[in-house]
Structure 1
Amino acid sequence: MATFVCRVQFLDDTDPFNSTNFPEPTRPPLYSFREDIPLINQLAGVHRLLKAPHKVGLTG
């Protein structure tokens, strides 16, 4: 089971002139991505770790 460890962070770009609603973390936490699991299946774990204010979903 190979992993790829990196720092993860979200960017609240719903209103670029207002940064007080959901301030981004000052020090992004580490997350270990598993190389044998598709990335789309790991995004919910990243979302929980970050406590991101927005719903997980694709735009388009």
Structure 2
Amino acid sequence: MATFVCRVQFLDDTDPFNSTNFPEPTRPPSYTFREDIPLINQIAGIHRLLKAPHKV
């Protein structure tokens, strides 16, 4: 089981002229990806970690 860790974050680009940074995190959290699991199956975990307001 190989893994790699990287920082993840989302960009709220629903309104590019909105000047607020909410709710984008100021420091991206780390997420451990597993190479034996397809990325599409790990997206939900990343979404929960980020508490992203958009639908997956």
TM-score, normalization by structure 2 = 0.92
Q: Distance in 2 between matches of 1:21 and 1:47?
A: 18
Runs of 4+ residues over 4 Å off in structure 1:
none
> Aligned pairs, how many?
56
Q: Distance in 1 between matches of 2:3 and 2:41?
A: 14
Q: Find the counterpart in structure 2 of residue 38 from structure 1.
A: 38
For structure 1, list consecutive stretches of 5 or more residues without a partner in the other structure: none
Percentage of matched positions with identical amino acids: 93
For structure 2, list consecutive stretches of 5 or more residues without a partner in the other structure: none
Distance 1:19 1:53, change over 3 A: farther
Higher RCO (CA-CA < 8 Å; seq separation 6+): 2
Distance 1:24 1:30, change over 3 A: same
Q: Distance in 2 between matches of 1:22 and 1:16?
A: 13
Q: Find the counterpart in structure 2 of residue 50 from structure 1.
A: 50
> What are the superposed Cα offsets for residues 3-57 of structure 1, whole Å, 9 maximum, x if unpaired?
010000000000011143733111000000000000000000000000000000x
RMSD of Structure 2 on Structure 1 (CA): 1.3
